[in-house]
Amino acid sequence: MDARADYERLCREILEHDRRYYVENDPTVADVEYDRLFARLRALEAEHPDFIVPWSPTQRVGALPVSAFPKVVRAVPMLSLDNTYDENELTAFYERLVRGLGGARPALVVEPKIDGIGIELKYDAGEFVLGATRGDGTIGEDVTQNLRTIRALPLKLTRPVSVEVRGEVYMERAGFEKINAERVRAGEEPWKNPRNSTGGSLKLLDPREAARRPMKLLTYEVVGDGPAKTHFELLAWMKQLGLPVSTEIARVETLPELLSAVEGWADRRMELPFAVDGVVIKVDEIAQRRELGATSRAPRWAIAYKFPAEQATTRLLQVDWNVGRTGAITPLGHFEPVELGGTTVKRASFFNANQIRRLDVAVGDRVLIEKAGEIIPYVITVMERAHNRRPIEVPANCPSCGTPLVREEEQVALYCPNTFGCPVQKARSIEFFSHRDAMNIEHLGPSLVAQLVERGLIGDVADLYDLTAEQLVELERVGPKSAENVIQAIAHSKKTATLSRLLIGLGMPGIGEVWARAIAEHYQSLPKLIAATPEEIEKTLLEIHGFGDERASAVARFFAEPRHREVLEKLIARGVSPSEPKIERSGPLAGLRLCVTGTLSRPRSEIQAEIESAGGVFDKTVKKGTHYLVAGADVGATKLNDAQKKGTRVIDEAAFERLLRGEAI
């Protein structure tokens, strides 16, 4: 027992040294002493392998490579933040807070917005057991083993509490530059920026390789109720647990203080060792956050203030015309390299031919380009016209298939109408289908997809599931191991994809993550969806609040196209028929369905968001199973009659507010 107790004390001692070094930047022992302790730990574990605990410092790296990352479905979604770039909009946000709190002026916290990758960490009785990426907010990927390699992440908390926290994984500039220098020396392409490098590092299949990447961590939020009344107190509690939290946080109590704090960060952001693309402003009191609530995508009590765009001048060298997945023809400018926002920019978009005409730009001109946040750099204006400038020729035919281009009525973009025959459109559609936010088929890069289309091995996304390793090894730069990895990734996508991810991958007009999930939650399976007629699909989608006529019509037209239905049937025949996981809703309205009618104190969209964020389901019309009809002023007879026929209880807005607070009515 004494030897076991000594072993665990040694584990805790080394973990504390890790925290002091990697989190506090305040080491308390010399490197040689740390190495001596670590060697002693390894010796103890070699002598007593039954002593080894999952939170031992030796267990940060050691897991075998994985073939793919399991999906993690979270009950409380990781919401996005609304953005602003303008002080007037920031003032309007503050005024909305005051109105939402009945005139109370909330204290706010201001913290730098790290340009990293959002993650969620789960601790059970103080031990780290699960880490997942943000994904689409509801469904992320299990990257536990790679997160364990981050020294700033505590494998064991200082107290045996069970808690889920959220944070940001990132790379400091120095670490990023060092590993880029190593890549250049090894003859590899340098990475573009720290954020993309971090995202790629978290998705490495071999944790031993991930351990070589200089990833850092900061946590900023507890999921659910924490033991504190304010954000400041919550951060202090998290720090006591040994979690790394930012020290660069200010608390302000007035609007002038807020504006001053934001302005100060714009001036000193480069002093931080990591990239910052703005600041996050949050209401400090947790009770006030609950009172303000959230919309379906973002909390009302927080906002991200993005720093102004960065600009630079450079010379236009040439223009290429790219064919997109939807057939849109986009001009892409190539420029003399210029530093912008910490990266070297060589290309920027003109968006469409009309912008080229509007700018009166030609090859050889010196132009002003701009980059704001994550937006691709684009051309603002011509600064100096060259004497020997060459006009930019707008193509009349598709650069890929030669089909005459068209411009749809009231549209500015040129399109190639050869949807199913244009090689580049085929390739782009297959790349989109394989993207990590869709079917997540790894190892299937643009170069490989282009070869597959060019050789006639695939003509649509369903053909991916007929490929063999023998076919792939005949392609350029594809060896037996690479071919097998691709085939395994394709096969794995059958098991891991959800219906919503498949719908995203199909690239239907106007259908992103939110609406794909709405469709998937209703139909639950692909066979059930394609069994419906286009007319039935359109009618059903119109019943989903906010879907809209145009979007519903576009989806119906997609399913009316025989070629699309043929591809979907091919997918099912090849075993690609994912379902949609049912997400358990939590909150005071969990298990309840509510409909709203009449004139209420706030817009119906806000009330819908409150219902959904409280775990309820918003019904557009009174249906069988609708529990409550919230009735305001000027109520028509139709919904009241429907409520009476279907046994739905009619309540006023005051009763609805009591339901939101979890009170009985």
For residue 62, pLDDT beyond 60: no
Buried b (16+ CB within 10 A) or exposed e, 232-271: eebbebbbebbbbbeebbbebeebeebbebbeebeeebee
**Which ranges constitute the DSSP H helices of 506-635?**
513-523, 526-531, 534-542, 549-560, 562-573, 604-613
**Token pair for 599:** 């004139």
Q: Are 146 and 130 in contact (CB under 8 A)?
A: no
For residue 645, pLDDT beyond 60: yes
Beta bridge partners of 340: 343
Long-range CB contact pairs, 510-516, < 8 A, 24+: 510/550, 510/551, 510/554, 510/555, 511/551, 511/555, 513/136, 513/137, 513/437, 514/296, 514/297, 515/547, 515/551
Q: Are 436 and 140 in contact (CB under 8 A)?
A: no
Average pLDDT over residues 102-111: 94
pLDDT in tens, 287-301: 999 999 887 678 999
pTM for the structure as a whole: 0.51
Of the listed ranges 73-82, 326-335, 359-368, 463-472, the one predicted with least confidence: 73-82
Residue 206, pLDDT score: 67
Average pLDDT over residues 604-610: 76
pLDDT in tens, 375-391: 567 788 899 999 999 99
Residue 374, pLDDT score: 43
**Token pair for 462:** 């369903």
For residue 546, pLDDT beyond 70: no
Of the listed ranges 58-62, 608-612, 641-645, the one predicted with least confidence: 58-62
Residues 6+ apart with CB under 8 A from 283: 97, 106, 107, 108, 231, 289, 292, 301, 302
DSSP codes, 616-653: -EE-SS--TT--EEEE-BS--HHHHHHHHHHTPEEE-H
The closest alpha carbon to 333, from 354, 311, 352, belongs to 352
pLDDT in tens, 1-29: 588 888 888 888 888 888 776 666 566 77
**Can you tell me the distance from the alpha carbon of 323 to that of 193, in angstroms, rounded to the nearest whole number?**
26
Residue 87, pLDDT score: 86
**Token pair for 4:** 């076991």
What are phi and psi for residue 468, nearest 5 degrees?
Answer: -125, 160
For residue 559, pLDDT beyond 90: yes
Residue 409, pLDDT score: 67
Residue 557, pLDDT score: 93
Q: Catalytic residue positions?
A: 113
What are phi and psi for residue 285, nearest 5 degrees?
Answer: -75, 130
Between residues 645 and 656, the one the model is more confident about = 656
Q: Are 239 and 245 in contact (CB under 8 A)?
A: yes
**Token pair for 78:** 């990781």
Residues 6+ apart with CB under 8 A from 177: none
Residue linked to tokens 């603002």: 380
pLDDT in tens, 154-205: 999 999 999 999 999 998 888 887 777 766 555 555 666 777 778 878 877 6
For residue 638, pLDDT beyond 90: no
Q: Element (H or E) spanning 22, and its range? A: helix 2-22
Residue 98, pLDDT score: 94
Mean predicted lDDT score pLDDT of the chain: 85
What is the amino acid identity at position 73? V
**Token pair for 172:** 């400091």
DSSP 579: B
For residue 506, pLDDT beyond 90: yes
CA distances for 561 relative to 416, 535, 608, angstroms: 18, 13, 34
Sorting pLDDT into bands at 50, 70 and 90, what band is 219? Answer: very high
Q: By three-state DSSP, how is residue 299 classified?
A: strand
Residue 287, pLDDT score: 92
State the number of CA atoms in the 13 A half-sphere of 540 facing the CB.
17
**Can you tell me the distance from the alpha carbon of 510 to that of 551, in angstroms, rounded to the nearest whole number?**
6
Residue 218, pLDDT score: 93
For residue 480, pLDDT beyond 50: yes
For residue 585, pLDDT beyond 70: no
**Can you tell me the distance from the alpha carbon of 353 to that of 332, in angstroms, rounded to the nearest whole number?**
10
Residue 607, pLDDT score: 83
Q: Are 99 and 239 in contact (CB under 8 A)?
A: no
Winning range, highest mean pLDDT, from 137-151, 235-249, 337-351, 608-622: 235-249
Beta bridge partners of 618: 594
pLDDT in tens, 318-327: 999 989 888 8
Q: What domains appear along the chain, each with residue ranges and CATH number?
A: 2-59 (1.10.287.610), 83-306 (3.30.470.30), 310-418 (2.40.50.140), 423-496 (1.10.150.20), 499-573 (1.10.150.20), 593-660 (3.40.50.10190)
Q: Are 553 and 535 in contact (CB under 8 A)?
A: no
For residue 372, pLDDT beyond 60: no
